[in-house]
């Protein structure tokens, strides 16, 4: 638990150098195999030494003093490579700190390095990275999931205290589920996107991954809040807790949705355990339009991604994207360009936004009755590394995670056991703005 570690560091029982050097050593040993970190911060040890001196002299230090974290390579960190795991941005160095990074550094956390990912966050397996596939430390012959593959793999492989990812349609929760760690997608706008290289600006959220819900909460409480640099951000900011505790008879809606039986079994088992212990109630719930999630999500992503990538024309940032990117990114650019053609007058994009609204309304309605909606995070087990699967099958991984992005609500993936030695996660989805309630509730569901 990170809270305990922070205490040890403050009391001088564990030095920051010990903590950070421990991770750097582990990275140099294990990362050759895992390939979850693309760039190591060569100033990390120096920063650790400085912090130790401050602690020894009795200076007041930040809430995360001495913790080491890994950052997805699409979040700007000044002086480090922010390449989105793409050859397009191979030589791009962050020129400023994203708001989330500013906040974490202000609390004296230390950046260990930049994480591998699916190229430009376009993918769900970790295989589309321009710098080699990242491995799953828990189920080594399987994909780690994505697109925040390295962020999840680094936490699962114990190469950092926590990490940051971004989630457009499941990219934090999906790899968290496959690697057996906790991953949170906050409500849309509750964390500033300033400094995130976007995949789809109306769906993207930055969020934390960690070994426990409590660890994830610790980080979320620092990064959340309104930011003057992001007009879509909101919230009270600071660390005011929205909810103090979980009221007794929490009502769980179990989402009626197709997923592999063995995965549902694990999820339902865990729900039963929690219901017994805390006297929660549950009921099956059917939401309209949720089976249209994928068809709604992808046109929005393609269109917004196409528009967002026009700046990568080879003049200011690295190379021209169409000439240097991988197959999946190119598919989205060409597809997005097609959807955006003047002759269609925005017809498909607008339709997708209408469907998004319908899904949002369905959730709103359901949350009048339920405090939380639960389902598996991913409907199927991760495929074997190197196994070729169709694009449709690849997009199907996202069927249950895209819903929270479309509805703009918070969701979290929590490990709930293993199927054939492969971790599976359960997904808790809560009403917009109830992020802290969701975290509080999530602690009850940890096995
Ligand atoms: N797998 C989804 C996609 O490829 C999700 C990506 C994400 O959340 N960044 O778009």
Cis (ω within 30 of 0) for the bond into 232? no
Atom of ligand 1 nearest to the CA of 405: 8
**b/e code 208-226 from CB counts within 10 Å (16+ = b):** bbbbbbbbbbbbbbbbbbb
Q: Tell me the C-alpha distance between 348 and 343, whole Å.
A: 11
Mutate to test the pocket of ligand 1, among 124, 183, 411 (most ligand atoms within 8 A of CB): 124
Is the separation of the CB atoms in 200 and 349 below 8 Å? Answer: no
Ligand 1 centre to CA of 95 (Å) is 26
Assess whether 331 and 384 both reside in one domain. Answer: no
- Residue whose C-alpha is closest to residue 142's, from 426, 375, 328, 420: 420
Kindly report the protein residue whose alpha carbon is nearest to atom 10 of ligand 1. Answer: 122
Give the residue numbers spanning the domain of 161: 1-288+355-447
User: 327-339 vs 293-308: helix axis angle to the nearest 10?
Assistant: 90
Return the ligand 1 atom nearest residue 169 CA: 8
Evaluate whether 207 touches 188 at the Cβ level (below 8 Å): no
Is 140:107 a contact under the CB 8 Å cutoff?
no
CB 290 within 8 Å of CB 409: no
> DSSP label at 100?
H
CATH of the domain at 204: 3.90.1300.10
Domain boundary among 332, 349, 366: 349
> Distance between CA atoms of 135 and 144, rounded to whole angstroms?
6
Q: Which of 305, 328, 349 is a domain's end point?
A: 349
First to last CA, the chain: 15
Of 75, 115, 127, 169, the one to substitute when testing ligand 1's pocket (max ligand atoms within 8 A of C-beta) is 169
Q: What is the pLDDT of residue 244?
A: 47
Backbone angles phi, psi at 369, to 5 degrees: -105, -35
Return the axis-axis angle of helices 2-10 and 16-34, rounded to nearest 10°. 140
Same domain, 282 and 323: no
* pLDDT value at residue 62: 98
Compute the distance between CA of residue 264 and CA of residue 253 in angstroms, rounded to an integer.
14
Examine the domain organization and report whether 24 and 152 are in the same domain: yes
Q: Are residues 65 and 22 in the same domain?
A: yes
Residue ranges of alpha helices (H) inside 340-389 are: 347-369
Domains of the chain: total: 2
- Give the predicted TM-score (pTM) of the model: 0.97
Neighbours of 79 (CB within 10 A): 14
419 and 444 assigned to the same domain: yes
Ligand 1 cavity residues, CB under 6 Å = 121-124, 147, 166-171, 199, 301, 398
Average pLDDT, 10 consecutive residues per value, the chain (447 residues): 97 97 98 98 98 97 98 98 98 96 98 98 98 97 98 98 98 98 97 98 98 98 95 69 60 96 98 93 97 97 97 91 98 96 86 97 97 97 96 97 98 98 98 93 93
DSSP state of 424: E
Residues 340 and 413 in one domain: no
Same domain, 235 and 344: no
Q: Which residues are catalytic?
A: 72, 147, 171
pLDDT of residue 317: 85
Give the distance (Å) from ligand 1 centre to CA of residue 11. Answer: 42
Is 241 found in the same domain as 227?
Answer: yes
């Amino acid at each position: 638990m990170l809270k305990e570690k922070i205490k040890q560091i403050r009391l001088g029982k564990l030095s920051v150098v010990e903590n950070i050097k421990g991770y750097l050593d582990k990275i140099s040993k294990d990362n050759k195999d895992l390939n979850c970190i693309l760039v190591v911060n060569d100033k990390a040890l120096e920063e650790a030494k400085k912090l130790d001196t401050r602690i020894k002299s009795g200076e007041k230090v930040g809430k995360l003093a001495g913790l080491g974290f890994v950052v997805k390579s699409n979040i700007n960190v000044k002086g480090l490579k922010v390449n989105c795991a793409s050859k397009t941005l191979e030589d791009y160095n962050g020129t400023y700190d994203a708001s989330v990074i500013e906040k974490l550094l202000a609390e004296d956390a230390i950046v260990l390095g930049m994480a591998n990912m699916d190229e430009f966050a376009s993918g769900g397996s970790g295989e589309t990275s321009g710098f080699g596939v990242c491995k799953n430390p828990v189920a080594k012959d399987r994909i780690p999931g994505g697109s925040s593959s390295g962020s999840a793999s680094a936490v699962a492989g114990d190469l950092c205290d926590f990490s940051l990812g971004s989630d457009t349609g499941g990219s934090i929760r999906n790899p968290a589920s496959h690697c057996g760690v906790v991953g949170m997608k906050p409500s849309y706008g509750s964390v500033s996107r300033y400094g995130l290289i976007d995949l789809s600006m109306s769906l993207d959220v930055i969020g934390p991954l960690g070994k426990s819900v409590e660890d994830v909460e610790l980080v979320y409480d620092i990064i959340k809040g309104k930011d003057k640099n992001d007009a879509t951000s909101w919230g009270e900011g600071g660390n005011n807790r929205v909810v103090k505790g979980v009221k007794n008879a929490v009502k769980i809606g179990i989402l009626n949705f197709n997923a592999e039986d063995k995965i549902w079994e694990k999820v339902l088992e865990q729900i039963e355990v929690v219901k017994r212990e805390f006297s929660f109630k549950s009921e099956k719930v059917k939401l309209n339009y949720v089976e249209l999630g994928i068809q709604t999500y992808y046109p929005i992503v393609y269109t917004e991604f196409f528009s967002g990538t026009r700046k990568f024309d080879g003049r200011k940032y690295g190379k021209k994207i169409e000439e240097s990117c991988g197959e999946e990114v190119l598919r989205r650019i060409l597809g997005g360009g097609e959807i955006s053609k003047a002759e269609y007058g925005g017809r498909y994009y607008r339709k997708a936004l209408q469907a998004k609204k319908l899904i949002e309304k369905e959730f709103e309605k359901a949350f009048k009755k339920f405090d939380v909606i639960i389902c598996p995070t991913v409907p199927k087990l991760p495929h074997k590394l190197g196994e070729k699967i169709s694009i449709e099958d690849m997009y199907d991984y996202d069927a249950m995670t895209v819903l929270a992005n479309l509805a703009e609500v918070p969701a979290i993936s929590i490990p709930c056991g293993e199927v054939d030695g492969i971790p599976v996660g359960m997904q808790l989805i809560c009403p917009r703005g109830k992020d802290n309630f969701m975290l509080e509730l999530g602690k009850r569901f940890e096995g």
